[in-house]
Structure 1
């Protein structure tokens, strides 16, 4: 229909539109009357019109000034006899009076500085005549401007201001377009005069100051200085926040439901951002102290995939740059940036930066029991995390009975890791992960990256304010869309859950009952009793916490407990082994750069061992003296852990020996968890040869009048022919896409006895199918819980705002003048 093609309808009307545009360039209907149609009885010639008011009515100069008493920033045009010429209300003797209601004049006015006041408005830059009130009860000049919704550029003798509406418009403009302040100011200048013949007053520097000063934090009796760290951040209503959106008994739920109240966090770095902790950036002074204390600590090279951001952290060129990027922790589910968890990076993705951000997280998440950490280099970064913790203040340490930590790798990055990592850090296989993909932080970078170019040459304060502002806007937009987003995910999850559960049930019908029963016992045991170093360390920390509660404190150091000491010693032994391997591999023809990096690595390890030995003497005073360490190769230094001390016949604290035994057992289990995936696909390829039989069976059925055979043997399509670990049409199944891949029906049929190899393959694929079905089931439960949390959080926030009313009343009372009576 033509109504659906507006361009075609408009084409015949072009000349009519053009004539109207040209008519508006002249006086239009004003040629029909000779006198002004403004105030009653006015007989002056109408020669001035307002471009911003509706219509194109002409008035005399006196009437149009009176009409614009409350609209002092409109644009005027005056008729010269041949054409209209731009003119300002200032040129028409219009004067703005502050400190009094509109239309009333002050009996003692004070002229603005140098009678040259400039106002930045949403559609241009104006020069106005302005009088301040100078009565006995008058406010200061900057307060009078604020009462008029004009933001002063200076606090004394202001001669420039910006309308509040302009500052709000500029903020929204940068959020949507990622444009810079310079581009916006150029827009205002061109709207004022697009010919370049009447350049407006230059107020770019003033505009920069006002745009940075405008945001604020109110309704607090302590004022701006009462702002706490991270208080200006927009929080995620769906993340667990005890006391705000969790049930009263959330910490008493059964162990198998603890995951439901876990916090999902994603860590990543962004290197596009070259260059006091109230919002998203952390407080910088403490962070810089940690960086300086770390000195030239060398980054340990990755033993998994080639993570360039890690391996090249000590070699990237950062000359002349205050920062080479930013690192951040965000909500892995909803992609909201967490408060005070953004930090600058120097020379790549160094562990010291990311460690500090992570340990800061422990402070902000101190009331949450379960933490799931997604990081593309989690396999490397988490290795010696607890040894690194010793370098930080005690306020940043993991408390004894505090957390259950699970480290995972985002699904997109996992296929690039070695095989053992693909099992240990898989979001698809770990219980309690639901359908988390870990990509949230990288999606957030795509939204924030366009602002990077305008921050490269900013000072650190301006850069941080701009990024804080944009992080806040992204959080706000996601909070506003959280309801539809969670509903959309729930509508997707419910049918996926049902489909994968049905597929798993069909698959299990083809598995011998005895095998299936055995597999179920094995997988439940693996999920519930699998001993890893992280879980054992948590168990030991919880035991120490219980001892503290019972009044038994075995700690001899304010920051390092016995379990932390032994765990750090085991980590140091691993570092020594890694260093020995590096020294053996470097060869006799190493370059000076390789030798330098190796020496720096040795120095860093040496300092860690020295710190550890000092604390060890408190807990194990009878241990043999450590040799003069500067004279001994650092990888050969004997650490004298409890087992080594006992072997010498020296008595050692039984508690320390028990801790060492548990941690060593956990270390052994971690080394044995790689599964033999490599055989599976080879077996699948041999089974592929048997598929031709199905085509022959279909041909025979017609001649033999077999009518019910398809119940047992469904029709075989090309789309059904793929192996368990392959997608349709033979494509490889990506780790990220396993949620959409169903097991073909050919693998759900009963197979004859004796096919042990096929049964082995089915065991592996059953584990995967079960994990997939469980993740979708968890997804539905978690989404329903998050919907409840969002409502609970908004109810809590409404009550929080009600309390702000009381604070504001106190603030107003405190600001009133003291009145005394005789």
Structure 2
């Protein structure tokens, strides 16, 4: 049967030529039935069969009208049409022109209210002619949270849904849509904060009152039990508040609009500080002088990257360091890098809430904390009274540097400001802001083109959503962390106890261990004391040994006892110059390999000049070699001087076979210089690794676009080349020492100069890994708390018989302190996580109680409005109660898991390595891990 002969399936009496693309079944209906069936679905998309194909039509053209101000299905006795019968509704399936009848029963009835009650959001409170359905506003808000799409892109997709040909363009309502989106965001923020239940109303909203708070961070009066401030001293650290400061230079804003034209609706009620007092502060202290850095030359303070054409160069923020939540009144625009005036204001503003002033202990993480905190109190004295804090409180704050940023600091900062080495911080890394920025950065493409107020309101909304996601996923997050913490705590505690008991078995070290422990505890309580994590025995450098040998030559010459003085070189100078020539050969070989296929005349000329200079120096040195090492003369005559200079052997004492005689005094001189060369190579290797780590940080944080990334990659490649050169230098020195060791009975050199494997060449932190296999990358690149530090940083894993050696004792002390710190941090992490779980449950309980009290207050009144408010408040209370019950079920096996961990640690504490109980400990570890997996699977 053809379409022309089809009859309406509803009335069976009329020709069916209409169908709805939204309704299921796509049934063909007549005009009367299609209109009747869409009485409550007037925004569906309709098509008409014209005898050949389906063509576009609208329900408006078929006579569908929307009656506002009355219940569905009821008509108004005195309807009033929309102006010029022209009304546009934006919906999830497109942009629709509709016919609207307003209620005219009452004089002066508010049309905007009628539109809202129908489920549409009006574009204006006066005589609205455009509206958006609440559904499309919710859709856009959620799409922007997850995909970071802009309002313009979303609106364009709606226009194409209605007409993807451009033949029937929809009326342009982009500006109205953007206004409605902004108002909708603002009203939802106020609604979820419960501002409608406060007799002060919206105008009485206090700064930060609309922010979603972190449920796990300590908040007196919200999630802390009674008597929390009278806890014993050894438990008081569990009340610590962990904060993290950082700046984000991706969230720029171009020079668009102004504060007068586009003010913020939130006015400091959420995460951004109130703009007006903030800018007054910045203008007053923008020229504030900053002390010269005593650490590395950090670029954070004077970061002016790509600031031309931008009124805002980024944002500064203060967030939660453990749970990655943004704090209220803790984010503000930056005008020119991370100036202290900006960051001071944001930090003090984030602590301005009265209940936070009651907290006893605060830990602050900031990538330049070592410099920023020095004069903070002095700077604060000049600031407005509204943001000032008690000076004693500021001085009591513990300042640390995030783990990933720490290697870019000088060596003293790497121990003084380390999360890994400082007590009572658990496994906090301080890098939470970086994870939050990765979520918010994609929105920068659209916010950079917004006006100042629109941008701040949009970012406030996104940050609120981020905090809410953290709230309802807190159960899974804390569970995952404590499963890992239990396993790692047992593992690291066992490793420490084995190491500790092994050292205590040596009578010479037992007294030293007691001394080290006392020093460590003293330093943990007062970081101005001697730092047990720092090296105290300086390894000799190559330059220092050369200077010592020169002084020996000078004294021997004065005494008339100088050994075999050549006209050009003394014996020590002869060996030292040989080592220099050896290094120049390696560098020249690298230059040759870098020439490539297409060499310019300038490059070839530069290379030839270096070759000629090295040839002359080698010929000059060979004359001295005939004097000091006559046995090498036949070897020298067999050399082809036409070869490349880096191919010519130098025949130093370490490279001679046992059949060729060599003066033992020359071998001793080379031994001393080679040892110094090995130490110098390790110093160069460590410096190059630190530099490369900083370059990785700089590239990840600031490099955007092809040009900047190319430049950063070039610098990293150059740094990596230095790493490879230093490693090769050490390996050559060690091979020479191994060859010379045949003349000595002492074998301690093998402990002093271990073999340098490729896996040993790693930085203090985990560098980016290009391995695409996630499991392999996890195993080869563990985090600091789960790995052992490479021996190149002063860590030796094997005991040695020469326990009186100061260098060995220095290395053992550092490793013992670090091993103890790793075990302690994991133990602290478990206690912190258990405390945070308790706080989360108390927070949800308190929130539920608050919403119930609001519901009870509204129930006393009897009106449609009060009933709706009562229902919403009770819904919010029920949501918190359900979350609490869900988390309690999820955490049901945690206590048993922690008990198993304690049993494993107790066993390891009583067991020394010689006793064969390792299998028993491993079995208990497997039991603990199985229990953790069962707990995770149950949830």
Matched, 1:396 2:368: no
Match of 1:421 in 2: 413
Matched-pair contact (CA < 8 Å) for 2:68–2:118: yes
Q: 1:469 aligns with which of 461, 468, 483?
A: 461
Aligned to 1:25: none
Q: Does the aligned pair in 2 maintain the 1:680–1:761 contact within 8 Å?
A: no
Q: Which residue of 1 aligns with 2:214?
A: 236
DSSP-derived class of the 1:778 partner: helix
Cα offset for 1:295? 4.5
Question: More deviation in 288-297 or 234-243?
Answer: 288-297
Say yes or no: does 1:524 pair with 2:521: yes
1:459 corresponding residue in structure 2: 451
Deviation of 1:681 after TM superposition, in Å, equals: 7.2
Equivalent position of 1:333 in the other structure? 322
For structure 1, the 5+ residue unaligned runs are: 1-28, 534-677, 693-719, 817-822
Note if 1:88 corresponds to 2:58.
yes
Is the Cα contact below 8 Å between 1:38 and 1:64 reproduced in 2? no
Instruction: Give the 3-state SS of the residue equivalent to 2:316 in structure 1.
Output: strand
Deviations 1:412-445 (A, max 9, x none): 1111101111111111111111111111101111
Partner of 2:270: 279
Q: TM-score, normalised by structure 1?
A: 0.70
Per-residue CA distance 1:674-711 (angstroms, 9 max, x = gap) = xxxx99979x999999x99xxxxxxxxxxxxxxxxxxx
Distance of 2:81 and 2:449 partners within structure 1 = 39
Q: 2:438 maps to what in 1?
A: 446
- Relative to 1, partners in 2 of residues 1:435 and 1:497: Cα closer, same or farther, differing over 3 Å? same
Match of 2:498 in 1: 506
The aligned counterpart of 1:175 is 145
Q: C-alpha separation between the residues in 2 aligned to 1:55 and 1:814?
A: 38
Question: 1:497-537, CA deviations, whole angstroms, 9 ceiling, x for partnerless residues?
Answer: 1111111111112322222122222212222245589xxxx
- Is 1:345 the counterpart of 2:345 in the alignment? no
Residue among 754, 760, 784 paired with 1:730: 760
Matches within 5 A, 1:787-802: 787-802=837-852
- Counterpart of 1:104 in 2: which secondary structure? coil
Question: 1:746, CA displacement in angstroms?
Answer: 7.9
1:102 aligns with 2:94: no
- Are 1:99 and 1:138, in contact at CA under 8 Å, matched by a contact in 2? no
| 2:386 counterpart SS class | helix
Q: Is the 8 A contact 2:218 2:839 kept in 1?
A: yes
1:59-74 superposed matches below 5 A: 59-74=29-44
1: CA distance, partners of 2:53 / 2:4? 17
Q: Give the aligned partner of residue 640 of structure 2.
A: none
Q: Which residue of 2 aligns with 1:762?
A: 812
Contact 1:510 1:748 in 2 (8 A): no
What number of residue pairs does the alignment pair up? 614
Q: CA deviation at 1:777?
A: 0.8
Once the 2 structures are TM-superposed, how far is the Cα of residue 795 of structure 1 from its aligned partner? 0.8
Of 294, 297, 300, which aligns to 2:288? 297
Distance of aligned partners of 1:484 and 1:725 in 2 relative to their CA distance in 1, 3 Å threshold: farther
1:226–1:680 distance in 2 versus 1, CA, 3 Å: farther
Offset of residue 740 of structure 1: 2.1
> Using the alignment, how far apart are the partners of 2:420 and 2:429 within structure 1?
9
Describe how 1:319-718 pairs up with structure 2 within 5 A.
319-364=308-353, 365-399=356-390, 402=393, 404-511=396-503, 512-531=509-528
- TM-superposed CA distance for 1:207, in Å, is 0.3
Report the CA distance shift for 1:321/1:165 in structure 2 as closer, same or farther (over 3 A).
same
| Distance change (3 Å), C-alpha of 1:196 and 1:530 | closer
Partner of 1:776: 826
The question of whether the paired residues in 1 share the 8 Å contact of 2:4 and 2:51 is answered with no
SS in 2 for 1:265: strand
Deviations 1:37-94 (A, max 9, x none): 224xx51111111111011211110111011111110111111111111110100011
Pair 409,724 (structure 1): closer, same or farther in 2 beyond 3 Å: farther
What is the match of residue 696 of structure 1? none
CA distance in 2, matches of 1:724, 1:474: 49
Report SS of the residue matched to 1:379. Answer: helix
Which residue of 2 is the match for residue 310 of structure 1? 301
Q: 1:468: Cα distance to partner?
A: 0.6
Q: What SS does structure 2 have at the residue aligned with 1:420? A: helix
Q: TM-score, normalised by structure 2?
A: 0.62
Please state whether the residue corresponding to 1:396 is helix, strand or coil: coil
Rounded Cα–Cα distance in structure 2 between residues aligned with 1:214 and 1:726: 62
1:249-308 deviation per Cα after TM superposition (whole angstroms, max 9, x unaligned): 211123333221111111111112222111110111111111121153344443322222
Between 143-152 and 283-292, the greater mean CA deviation after superposition: 283-292
* Distance (whole Å) between structure 1 residues aligned to residue 846 and residue 270 of structure 2: 21
Report deviation, 1:309: 2.6
CA distance in 2, matches of 1:302, 1:724: 37
Per the alignment, in what secondary structure is the counterpart of residue 322 of structure 1?
Answer: strand
Residue 121 of structure 1 deviates from its aligned partner by 0.4
Counterpart CA distance in 2 for 1:456 and 1:681 is 46
Give the corresponding residue for 1:616: none
Cα contact 1:455–1:463 (8 A) shared by 2: yes
Which residue of 715, 723, 740 corresponds with 2:786?
Answer: 740
Is 2:176 the counterpart of 1:206?
A: yes
Partner of 2:26: helix, strand, or coil? coil
Q: Residues 131, 725 of structure 1: CA spacing in aligned structure 2 closer, same or farther, 3 A cutoff?
A: farther
In the alignment, is the contact (CA less than 8 A) between 1:414 and 1:421 conserved in 2? yes
Aligned partner of residue 310 in structure 1, secondary structure: coil
1:227 equivalent in structure 2 = 205
1:820 is matched with none
1:812/1:411 CA distance change after superposition, 3 Å: farther
Report the more deviating stretch, 110-119 or 247-256.
Answer: 247-256
Call closer, same or farther: CA 1:725–1:211 in 2, change over 3 Å: farther
Q: Secondary structure at the match of 2:114?
A: helix
Contact kept in structure 1, 2:803 and 2:809, CA below 8 Å: no
> Secondary structure in 2 aligned to 1:363?
coil
Partner-residue secondary structure (3-state), 1:790: helix
Structure 2: gaps (5+ residues): 254-266, 504-508, 531-678, 687-729, 739-749, 767-782, 867-939
CA root-mean-square deviation = 3.2
State the alpha-carbon separation in 2 of the partners of residues 515 and 760 from structure 1: 11
Q: Is the 8 A contact 1:427 1:437 kept in 2?
A: yes
Q: Deviations along 1:131-159, whole A, 9 cap, x unmatched?
A: 00101388411111111110011111111
Q: C-alpha deviations, 1:579-630, integer Å up to 9, x for none?
A: xxxxxxxxxxxxxxxxxxxxxxxxxxxxxxxxxxxxxxxxxxxxxxxxxxxx
Residues 137, 327 of structure 1: alpha-carbon distance in 2 compared, 3 angstrom cutoff: same
Residue 727 to residue 528, structure 1, CA distance change in 2 (3 Å):
farther
Contact 1:300 1:311 in 2 (8 A): no
Q: CA deviation at 1:726?
A: 9.1
Structure 1 residues 315-354: Cα deviation after superposition (integer angstroms, max 9, x where no partner): x674553311100111111111111101000111111000
The residue aligned with 1:35 is 7
Q: How does 1:179-194 map to 2 (within 5 A)?
A: 179-194=149-164
In structure 2, do the counterparts of structure 1 residues 400 and 455 end up closer, same or farther at CA, with 3 Å as the change threshold? closer
Q: Distance in 2 between matches of 1:107 and 1:231?
A: 46
Distance (Å, rounded) in 2 between the aligned partners of 1:332 and 1:725: 39
